[in-house]
Amino acid sequence: MSKMKPKLNMSALLLCATLMTACTPSDRIPVSEQTTEKMNLVGPQDAKEVEAFADPLFEEVMKKYNVNGSNFVVVKDGKVLLNKGYGYADLEKKIPVDKNTVFQIGSVSKTFTGLAAMQLADQGKIDLYEDIQAYLGGMKIPNRTEKKLTMFNMLTYTSGVDLPDSTSFIAPEFVDKDIPMKQFLLDHMPTVVRPPGEAYTYDNFAFLLAGYAIENVSGMPFYQYMDKNVFKPLGMNSTSVRITPKLLDRMAAHYNPAGDLIPVEGTAPTDGPQGSIISTGDDMAKYLIMHLQKGKYEGRQLVSEKAAEQMHTYQIFADESIPMTTVGGFEGYRKELANGQHVVLKGGNMTGHQSLIVLVPEKNTAFYMSYNNDTMMSLEVYDAFMDHYFAQTKQPEKPVYVPLDEKDAEKYVGLYQNTRFHFLKSKFSYADGKLLMETGTPGKHTFKMITPLLFEDESGNKLAFKKDHRGSIEYFYYDNFEGFHIGSDSQKIHKKQSFPDVAEENKYKGFIDDLHALDIMGAKSGGNFEPQAFMTQGEFADVLFRAHGMYGFPYAIEGTKKQMAAGLPPFDSNEVITRQTAAVMIQNLKALKPASEVRLSGQTDAWAVEAVTALVSQGVIDPDTIVQADGTVDFRSNQPLLRQEAAALLDKAFGHYALPLSIK
């Protein structure tokens, strides 16, 4: 599920990427063996039974996740079995949720954009495999590869751009503004850096660009195209790309997970093909029925059966056993919850609203839900729904592992960086016939090989390596980073040519090379790194921001830069930075917890003691910081920070191996 808006802390940021957090199923409503067997064959049938299933479930999960209000729609065989609201759209005003309550459906919008693109493909106005430049009216997409970018790539999350979230802006001030697509795209354009079609990266930019292509080819604004060709034909009279005053009056209030009321946010640009649609349970029921009827609704074929089938058929796989995306925005994450059924789904998030649609096409069954906070309640409802109506009758076979020797492992080992969340890095090494993966403290996993590209960790989670266009191992997909589920491949980081002024024996060389390879810290002048040069506070802030990995999320920039300067004396971008100032800035973003008791020697100002202590205790120190015989550590806090020292601190803090320092 994507979510257009990443947060400033890691757990909330991951929440915005896709349906990523783990979910522990709770007790379910018991059903008889006969009922279970019948439901396994056909799914939900009786409206009263569905309501009897949903009522106690929503009572339970809404309380568990502190959700004030939710809707739930279940359709089967062209009929609505349930369309019901639970709780309050506005708790303070005691306004209940009903089938006409408006929610922001976030990235569920991508499936509507995919539908519109498939309509134009049906009409011969867009070729899914043609260079997208042909449909942009002269707009140029920077492309460093030799492969064209197509609509097919964009609708399958394989555009290959470097900053897939560079065009995602959400804020309260955008609710009443009209921000055109074209200029916004020109001002925030990413670059194609991987051959399109080669790697899967959850991609807000691609669906925004797809929307612009729809606008350009159709000759009408995106919101007008959607009204005329999608919403009105479906009778979705309370659905809109834009927030209108009438629909805003019926919109559910927004709450954070703590239950605090928060403002509604709009999007920039105003038409957000990647996530700006608002809708109701009543309208979404019609959308689900159209999908299950292969593009047809009340006698009208909105898209061809072939196009509908493409939208429901997986095209991109991490491995043949791990489906990723269809054409048109649907995804296949959390396959283990599908209970062996063919399921396509899409989730969405706007601050204070969450949504999910789930299609089980072969069972002619689907459901939709929205609710008014930022938790993953939807994932638990999905789990409960599949267990209740499509319980898995036989356990999947356990894999057979095959030997992995050290020479064969060479093609997998190395450092990888996630293609969307740049802060997420993974280092693979080999030991005793297995691959070892480190993702920073505390993430370590051991993998056994099932096939030459498919591995399994100690908990049964699959990891799939992928080859690039040259046939080399270049990517991997793993759906379990410390309990979070990441909707993107990670790419191998290749070392760059070393700087001529950094000697092989320089004990900082490894750190410098790492940051150079990751495009975090490069040459200072004339191709030289200048390891002994000082840095200004402004220079360090820029490098720290890139090391932190938030540079791909534009509206996070201002908040992150304010966060990194918190608790410091007045920030002066032109002043030479001291080591203790750098330590506070790192700690402001990293929030390390002391791993052991540390005694500092030397002089450290009171405002920096906590940060320096935390970094030292976690081993975030440079090679010249020494633990003295009496167990004290002199961080040299008031000395200017050298560039080579900055490389060491940043690589240890935000790299793949922030290992605690053992201090007695």
Q: How far apart are CA 272 and CA 269, in angstroms?
A: 6
Residue 517, pLDDT above cutoff 80: yes
pLDDT, tens digit (0-9, with 9 covering 90-100), for 29-54: 344 444 545 556 689 999 999 999 99
Q: How far apart are CA 572 and CA 473, in angstroms?
A: 45
- 471 token code pair: 């046939």
Question: What is the rounded radius of gyration, in angstroms, for the C-alpha atoms of the chain?
Answer: 26
Residue 560, pLDDT above cutoff 60: yes
pLDDT band (50, 70, 90) for residue 441: low
Residue 156, pLDDT above cutoff 70: yes
pLDDT, residue 631, reads 77
Assess contact for 1 and 19: CB atoms under 8 A. Answer: yes
Q: How far apart are CA 633 and CA 645, in angstroms?
A: 16
For the ranges 16-30, 47-61, 540-554, 555-569, the maximum mean pLDDT occurs at 47-61
- Residue predicted with more confidence, 265 or 593: 265
Assess contact for 578 and 572: CB atoms under 8 A. Answer: no
> What's the mean pLDDT in 110-122?
98
Q: Which residue has the tokens 């820029």?
A: 542
Query: Within 10 A of 397 (CB to CB), how many other CB atoms are there?
Result: 6
Q: How far apart are CA 651 and CA 561, in angstroms?
A: 19
Residue 231, pLDDT above cutoff 70: yes
Q: How far apart are CA 228 and CA 83, in angstroms?
A: 25
Residue 469, pLDDT above cutoff 60: yes
Q: How far apart are CA 459 and CA 446, in angstroms?
A: 9
pLDDT, residue 657, reads 40
Q: How far apart are CA 599 and CA 606, in angstroms?
A: 14
pLDDT, tens digit (0-9, with 9 covering 90-100), for 320-336: 999 999 999 999 988 88
* Average pLDDT, rounded, for the chain: 90
pLDDT, residue 425, reads 87
Phi, psi of 378 (to 5 degrees): -60, -35
Counting DSSP H helices and E strands in the chain, the numbers are: 19, 27
Percent of the chain with pLDDT over 90: 80
DSSP 526: T
Percent of the chain with pLDDT over 70: 91
Residue 10, pLDDT above cutoff 50: no
